[in-house]
Each structure stands twice: as C-alpha cells, then as structure tokens.
Structure 1
Amino acid sequence: MPLMQMVPMLMKEENKEDYEPKVVSFGPYHHGNEKLKFVENFKPTAVQMFIGDMNEDVFIDAILREIENVKKCYLEEFTRRYTDIQFAHMMLRDACVILNYFGPKDIDKSYKAAETINNHLGIAVYNSIRRDMHLLENQIPFLILEMLVALRYNTPRHSFIKAMERDSFKMFFNGMIEHAEDKDDLGKNPAHLLEIFRRVIVTGPEHDPILRENEYGCCNVKDMLTRLENGCGKCCKDDENHEEWHGGQYVFRSVTDLKSKGIYSKASGIKSLKGVRFSPTRFCWSAELKLPFMYVDMYTRVFFKNMIAYEFSPNSLINNDKSVTSYVSFMKLLVVTEEDVKELRENKIIINCLGSDDDVVQVYKDLNTYEGGDTSYFWDVKEHIEHHYHSKIRTWMAEFRTTYFNNPWTIIALVASLFLLCLDIVQTYYSIHPPPN
C-alpha cells in the first residue's frame, strides 16, 4: 500500500475542491493539470533559487539512486506514466518550490526568496501555495526534502526535521516549541510534510489530573456539594437521565449552553489540540472548560478536511490515531451559533481571521468527521461536563449568579433589598420588644 494516499471518493463527493490544488501540484497525482500551468512554468526558476551555484545533476543523481523507493510511495497507475528521469525532475522541481517557501534559510535569504516568488507569481498565488501544501493528495516523500537539504547545506537529517517542526509550530501557534523533550512524537521520521504539520498540532499531554486535593481550599466544598446533590437527587430526581450520557451520548450543546449552566470557557495555554481541560472553580459553583488557542482563517476548513482524510487513510504511519478528528468532533459540539464564536473569541480561544462570526460557524459545519472520532479522547472532560450539566445545585447557583451578580445594577439592587430587609427585621424586633425608658 503506498504512503501517499488518495482521498476516499465518499469525502470528495461532498466538496471536491477542498482536496485539489488551486495553484501548484506536488507529486504525480495532479501533475499536468492545465489550471496549474502558471506555477509549473515557475518551477525551473525555483530549482535555481534553491541549488544556487551547484550543479543540478548532483541532485538528480541523488534522487535517481532512490527512485524505486520514491515511486513506490504512489499508486502505480500514476507513476508508470513517467520514466525514471522524468519522475526525478518532477520531484526536484516540486521539492524546490516547497523548500523556497518553507525551508531552512536565514532571514535575509528568506525575505529575498519570498520577494522573488512574489515578483514572479504575485501575492495571491504566493499565499495559495501554503494552502496547497495542506492537501493529502499533494505531497512528496519527506525523504526527498531531507536529501536535497543535506546536499545543499551539508546538514544532518535530524536537525532538518527539527527545523521544519519548529517552523510549523510557529505557523500554527505563533510561538516556539516549549518543552520539546516531553513531545515524544517529535523528531521521528515523517512520511511527508502533512505529517509534520499534524504531529506539531497534536503532540502534547493528553490528560492532566482533573482535580487535586488542595484545589478546594481549607473547607471541602466538594463534599458539601456532593451531599446536597445526593439529597436533591432523591427529591428532584436529578439523576433521572444519568444513564443516557454514560453510553457516550452527551446532552450538553454549545458554549453558550454550557455558560448558562455555570461552565465558562477559557484558554488552556496548551499549544496542542489535546490541550482540552475541565476544572471546577475554587468554590465549585461554576467550572472552567479550557480550550487550546486556534486561528480560524481561509485555510482552516481545507486543512482540517485533509487532516481528517489522512487519519482515515488505511496505511498511514499514525496507527489509526484520530486526534484531529476527535478534536473537530468536540468543537462541532461547542460551536453552533455566532454567540458561541463570540464567546470563544472574547476569551482569546479563537482568533477569527475570516471576518464575521457566522463564517467561523460555517467552517465547523462544513467539517464532516463521519462519526470517526475516537470516543476515548476528552472522555474525562466530557464526563465532568455532563456531571456538572446535570447537577441541580450547580445549575441553581449558576442561575443565581447570572441573575444577581452579572450586572452592577442588579448587585446594587440586591444589596439595597438586603439592607431594607435588615431594617424591617430590626424594626419588627423593637416593635415587639421595645427598649426600656
């Protein structure tokens, strides 16, 4: 089975354009497409930009030595159209476009490469190259990129992988990789660039301790609430539908729905799609759902669709790991209306680069996970949300807080009412028990 998979036809039937390149082809699956001819004509220039004063034959000979292994990465019906030398030239040209756009070079050379590509192709085409690098069917073996970089810069393979991971992390999370020693998947041999992108956004801690013993302070409010819930459960039938959500069917829906139950969204600060956490507040009358920071821009829908297609691929190196699909499934539960997006945007969880909040809602609606997300992901978080969601005591506390403590005027009115009540009590007491003369 080849490493470079095709997108299943079922997925393509929904929206074929999200799986096909707009401006540039990488590899044989879309090579020769007429609408991509503009950038195809630029590829020889990209080769010269990358190799500099070196002889092109040096790079072609290196690729030819691995040509059989490289061809086996693709479906045979596409590779047999080309001779070995033709295929080697295709790999060199495609790789040089990628490495000029996204590869090892100092700041001055990086700026000069971007300026040269912009001058030849224009800013719109230049920006669309990044979009086309996200496509499952538009990949070349990472071995080719490593080989060319080793020949050009005389650098070890491991350092190149690390450099690509670092640059990818900066692209997705606008920062540097922290605690790289804890990220076990980093540094391993990737099949292609898309796998680099994926491992950067999903590598991270899957679970943290949800609660700690000292999290509630000196008085154990948790035990007190548990006793109250048990008492209310008997008289209010609080746990009547408890079994419904233990089977994996969750009642909670949307960020604003959770907020009405006292569960507030907050940025988790974990730079990974696995950075989803749930924690009660100190006095347990509300809770926080912590979510990782994420840009939503013109590439988001295409990126996640192709990531989901990659996770459904039968021969990928990720061993049926559905981390991205599970994250998207979870976010589809939370993002339902514009109010949900507004809440996440105001809490700096979503950075909306699309314009309107409704555009963000549409992005998540367009992402189909085919019910393929791993139910074990975020299981603890979902269980704690459901427990909080069904708690009558916590719901009443959330409603009380929203009614009386969400607006300064209602707080003033509540204090004034309590003050007047106290005066009435004092007046009533002294009318019954008048002080002696």
Structure 2
Amino acid sequence: MFEPCKWENKNILHFTDLIRNSYLPKELRSQAKHSQEECLLRTATKLNEAGISFEKVHNRCLLDIKFEKKRFFSWFLCLGCLPRCKLFKARFQIPQLKVDHTTECVLRNLIAFEQCHYPEAPFICNYVFLIDSLIHTKDDAELLVEKEAIVHELGSDQELTNLVNGLCKHVVTDSTCYHEIIEDVNGHYNNKWKWAMGTLRWVYFRDPWRSSSTIVGVVVLVFTIFNFYRVSDMLF
C-alpha cells in the first residue's frame, strides 16, 4: 500500500510502531517538537483555482509532503502551463498514496496506536488530517486522482471521499508537523495577485489547446489595435 523508508534502529514498541516508523521521514523521526498552532487548509479544488499544482512524487516517504515555489517566478503562475516551466509553478508535492480495501484498516490502527503511545508526536494523524483537509467533495478526490497523487482500487471517487472523511472522526490532536507548509500554502492562497494569476491560468491556460487559443487571441488583439492606430495616423 505504501512505500516504506529506511529507518534507524530505535526502541520499537509494537509491530504497528515498526510500520509507523517506516513511513516517517528522517527529519520527522528526529523532530522533538512541532507546532501547537491549529492550521486549516483549503480544499484541493480551491487551491488549484489559486494556481497551486498538485504533483505526485516517488522515492519519498509517505509523510514527506512539500510545498515548493520560487519566490520571484511564482508571481507569474499563468506561465506555468508552458512546457518545462516548473519555475513558474507553485507545487504541492505529495508522495503517491495507494488506496485499496486494506488502507482504512491500516490507517485506523496507526491512528489508534499514535493516540495511545505518541500523543505528542501524532505524525500519522497529522498526515490523515492534511489529506482530509484537501478532500471535502468528490471533485477534490477527482482532482488528486487525476494528478495521480492518489490512486485507488475503490468503486468510485465518492467512496474515496467517504473513506478519507471518515478516518478523522473522533480523533483529536493539538499540534501538527505540517504547520509551515500549511502557513505557506495559505499565504499563497490569500495573496490577491497570485490568486488572480491562478485564475488567469485556470480560465485561459488550463491546457495546450486553451493556451494556444488565448495566445492567438492576444496576438490578434494587439495586431488590431496596432492597425487601428496606424490608420488613425494616416487619416488625421
């Protein structure tokens, strides 16, 4: 179901603890504290409308989620549709999650184990809460499946939505290891200029066909304006 990471020798409490430890990035395993601030994240479709791209990544621990953007280039998100122009993208990188009929059982056991033995370091709970924040509706699930951040063997994307939304019920945490990521994503989302660039990209540069049509339209408009001023100068 998941791709385990290499792990260092430590005191393992239980076989479930061994599984949990294998999915933690090294920086999390050595992290003593994490933020006590409660952070809310927008849904996947909302973030996508703001110009944030979701990308699957391989060869990375399940919980090793990152948000990457270049400080200057991310102001021009509408150019991110061009081939090999990742510099202009705000990228939400998620290690691919493979969901099958055993996933719910595994995650529930890991969550319960953390609630009992690691209440101050609920990394699996944080991960599930993050995914749950991204998926509120079937449209959110469809987007993440389309980007292959999540692949599943369930009957439909609605079943995936129901599964994810049900995992966090009656689970309480007072901290998150993803505070910095959520803060960066929310900062991007709340920036009006970047939202405008994201909307421009979503409406006019969503795919190569729409991008080419937009570019042709702009060229025709510029050519028309140029000819108008040229004729005006000749007449007056």
User: What TM bracket, shorter-length normalisation?
Assistant: 0.7 to 0.9
Identify the residue that residue 182 of structure 2 maps to in structure 1.
Answer: 382
Identify the residue that residue 418 of structure 1 maps to in structure 2.
Answer: 218
Q: How does 1:149-298 map to 2 (within 5 A)?
A: 172-173=2-3, 177=5, 180=6, 183=7, 186-206=8-28, 248-250=38-40, 252-269=41-58, 271-280=60-69, 283-284=73-74, 285=77, 286-298=89-101
Q: How does 1:307-346 map to 2 (within 5 A)?
A: 307-313=110-116, 316=117, 318=118, 320-346=120-146
Distance in 2 (CA, whole Å) between partners of 1:377 and 1:270 is 20
The higher relative CO (CA closer than 8 Å, separation ≥ 6) is in: 2
Which consecutive residues of structure 2, in runs of 5 or more, have no partner in the other structure? 30-36, 78-88
Distance in 2 (CA, whole Å) between partners of 1:418 and 1:306 is 56
Which secondary structure does the structure 2 equivalent of 1:433 belong to?
Answer: helix
Structure 1 residues 368, 404: closer, same or farther in 2, change over 3 A?
Answer: closer
Which secondary structure does the structure 1 equivalent of 2:101 belong to?
Answer: coil
Which consecutive residues of structure 1, in runs of 5 or more, have no partner in the other structure? 1-170, 208-246
Percent of pairs with identical residues? 23
Bigger strand share = 2
1:430 corresponds, among 220, 230, 236, to 230
Question: Residue 381 of structure 1: CA displacement?
Answer: 0.3
Question: Residue 266 of structure 1: CA displacement?
Answer: 1.0
Query: Could you tell me the TM-score, scaled by structure 1's length?
Result: 0.45
Question: Residue 351 of structure 1: CA displacement?
Answer: 2.0
Question: Residue 343 of structure 1: CA displacement?
Answer: 2.0
CA RMSD of aligned residues (A): 2.6
2:2 is matched by which residue type in structure 1? F
Distance in 1 (CA, whole Å) between partners of 2:120 and 2:232 is 78
Name the larger-Rg structure.
Answer: 1
Distance in 1 (CA, whole Å) between partners of 2:135 and 2:108 is 17
Distance in 1 (CA, whole Å) between partners of 2:114 and 2:228 is 73
Query: Could you tell me the TM-score, scaled by structure 2's length?
Result: 0.79
Identify the residue that residue 406 of structure 1 maps to in structure 2.
Answer: 206
Structure 1 residues 293, 205: closer, same or farther in 2, change over 3 A?
Answer: farther
